[in-house]
Structure 1
Amino acid sequence: MQLVVARIGRAHGVKGEVTVEVRTDEPELRLAPGAVLATDPAAAGPLTIETGRVHSGRLLLRFAGVADRTAAEALRNTLLIAEVDPEELPEEEDEYYDHQLMDLDVVTADGVEVGRITEISHLPSQDLFIVERPDGSEVMIPFVSEIVAEIDLEEQRAVITPPPGLIDDRAEIVSSREESPRGESGDAS
């Protein structure tokens, strides 16, 4: 099975290094020197990692055969794909691979059907479930513990506790201003 483990960003310096947006919880395993990764688009690869280092909080990689900035920049936005045993599970208990979450039924804690996960969007701040509702519309649900209460792989469902307005139009609007009764404004009329 293939998993997207990173997306190549811009070139860094003049010797062929690139920044990467890491999409794996195991970069030391998947993005280690010597790793051979497939690519999307396929014509860009396969790529073999020569070196890797962290610079200013970003992972920088250099690939075999990519020796200058021009060649590095040509790889921008290429997805790096690792071949993974389908039986392999993440090391941490509350971690999941995208393929484990795809097609899970999404229900609220009180059993209301929300829809089915059709995509997982990896953003810098958090991951989002893209959920297709029974009527064909989509809703985005942040994959954070405050909202996603449980992932049950055996039952093939994700249980959520959404805040008002996330999955429906009945948002509670609360004003921070307290209304004062007439005549108590403090002026001496």
Structure 2
Amino acid sequence: MVVGRIGRPHGVRGQVTVEVRTDDPDLRFAPGSVLLTDPAARGPLTVSAARWHSGVLLLQLAGPDGVVVADREAADALRNTRLLVPVDALPELDDPDSFYDHQLVGLAAELTDGSPLGEVTAVQHEGAELLVVRRTDGRELLVPFVTAMVPVVDVAGGRLVVDPPEGLLDL
């Protein structure tokens, strides 16, 4: 499960900015936390220090060899690395209408009349949550993940229902 993405270096001592993709960054990025990486060859990485600066999370990281990333060039080499935690390390969600991305990816998407629409291939978090659906004809469709447009999510049944507004399927 992706919990963040390393951005640009901050300063000259090896700190990196992080695009946070978790609702509990203080837990996920606490000093001592070990994070898997994508690409895997860059990790695992261990958080040596974490702090917030002007609303941006800054991390000091140690590489797989235990050596702290200590300069700007080494920090820049980590840019765009996705930070991951194992799925089995995730807590259960209390809200029945909340889902982890990995629970949604792979679900069959169908219309309200039961006709197949495609398969959820990703979830984008760009302002609003969007489901990326690969349609049965191979085209890609972005569906806002809101109850009005996705009234049914049946993880156990492997499907969700899309109720698109007029014109969405024509985009």
Q: Which residue of 2 aligns with 1:34?
A: 32
RMSD across aligned positions (CA): 2.1
- CA shift, 1:145, in A, is 3.5
- CA shift, 1:41, in A, is 1.8
Amino acid at match of 1:85: D
Amino acid at match of 2:16: V
Amino acid at match of 1:132: R
1:66 to 65, 69, 75: 69
Q: Which residue of 2 aligns with 1:156?
A: 158
Which entry has the higher C-alpha Rg, 1 or 2? 1
Is 1:168 matched with 2:170? yes
Q: Which residue of 2 aligns with 1:21?
A: 19
TM-score between the two structures when normalised by the length of structure 1: 0.77
CA contact (8 A) 1:103 1:117 kept: yes
Distance 2:120 2:89 in 1: 19
Q: List gaps (5 residues or longer) in structure 1.
A: 170-189
Any runs of at least 4 consecutive aligned residues in structure 1 with deviations exceeding 6 A, and if so which?
none
Q: Helix, strand or coil for the counterpart of 1:85?
A: helix
CA contact (8 A) 1:89 1:96 kept: no
Q: Which residue of 1 aligns with 2:132?
A: 130
- CA shift, 1:58, in A, is 1.7
Structure with greater helix percent: 2
TM-score between the two structures when normalised by the length of structure 2: 0.84
Distance 1:150 1:28 in 2: 32
Q: List gaps (5 residues or longer) in structure 2.
A: 63-67
* Aligned CA distance change for structure 1 residues 54 and 95 (closer, same or farther; 3 Å): farther
Is 1:120 matched with 2:123? yes
Amino acid at match of 1:101: L
- CA shift, 1:131, in A, is 1.0
Q: How many residues align?
A: 166
